């Protein structure tokens, strides 16, 4: 690969990292062409971009965007494929689905919302990871619940409270 081609690959990877904000690095080595084609087709169906790249180029791409990606560097060994998706859990779910029929792809590392998940043992955690929007929605729901209960109690007991207040006024 010529220097210009490497530069283009690094720039393309860096742009995708910036665009998607999260990515998965997987091991797809020693897979047949048929199996790789199945993975590519399923990625396309799940709106996941997959790109095979040299580890040195992946490292240069993350260095180009800035930030500290050193926790991920140890995972960049052997053959690597990078998966990009707007959904933080879609690649993990796809990897888990593909693993039902074989032992690969193997999760090497993932970068999600400025957090690192290193190793294949993190796959279940990534599958169950909630998005920022889901967490905000849950927090809003939890905050609204007590307020709704108080308002509901006041509305349902409005006649009783009014009666108690009226009785107290009449006594005085």
Strand extents, DSSP E, the chain: 23-27, 49-53, 80-84, 106-112, 115-118
CATH homologous superfamily for the domain 3-127: Ribosomal protein L10, N-terminal RNA-binding domain (3.30.70.1730)
Does residue 49 have a pLDDT over 90?
A: yes
* Confidence grade of residue 23 (pLDDT, cut at 50, 70, 90): very high
CA dist., res. 95 & res. 4, Å (int) = 32
94 — phi, psi (to 5°)?
Answer: -65, -45
CB 109 within 8 A of CB 119: yes
Tokens of 8: 């283009």
pLDDT (average), residues 147-165: 66
pLDDT band at 172 (very low <50, low <70, confident <90, very high): low
Structure tokens at 120: 């294949």
User: Quick check: 44 pLDDT over 90?
Assistant: yes
Q: For residue 122, what pLDDT is reported?
A: 86
For residue 105, say if its preceding peptide bond is cis, omega within 30 degrees of 0: yes
pLDDT per residue over 93-122, tens digit each? 999 998 888 888 899 999 988 788 998 888
Each domain of the chain, given as residue ranges in start order, spans 3-127, 132-171
Q: In what order do the strands lie in the sheet with 80-84?
A: 49-53, 80-84, 23-27, 106-112, 115-118
Largest Cα–Cα distance in the chain?
A: 96
Is the model's pLDDT at 166 over the cut of 60? yes
Residues 6+ apart with CB under 8 A from 20: 49, 84, 85, 86
Tokens 């792809």, located at residue = 105
Number of C-beta neighbours around residue 13 at 10 A: 23
- The residue written with tokens 């790249």 in the block is 53
pLDDT value for 4: 86
CA distance 26 to 71: 15
């Amino acid at each position: 690969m010529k220097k210009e081609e490497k530069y283009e690959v690094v720039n393309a990877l860096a742009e995708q990292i910036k665009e998607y904000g999260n990515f998965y690095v997987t091991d797809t080595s020693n897979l047949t062409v048929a199996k790789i084609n199945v993975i590519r087709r399923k990625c396309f169906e799940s709106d996941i971009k997959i790109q095979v790249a040299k580890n040195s180029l992946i490292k240069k791409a993350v260095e180009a965007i800035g930030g500290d990606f050193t926790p991920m560097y140890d995972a960049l060994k052997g053959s690597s494929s990078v998966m990009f998706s707007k959904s933080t859990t879609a690649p993990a779910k796809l990897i888990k689905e593909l693993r039902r029929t074989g032992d690969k792809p193997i999760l090497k590392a993932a970068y999600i919302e400025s957090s690192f998940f290193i190793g294949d043992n993190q796959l279940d955690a990534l599958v169950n990871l909630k998005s920022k929007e889901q967490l905000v929605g849950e927090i809003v729901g939890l905050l609204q619940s007590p307020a709704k209960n108080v308002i509901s109690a006041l509305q349902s007991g409005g006649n009783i409270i009014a009666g108690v207040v009226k009785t107290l006024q009449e006594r005085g």
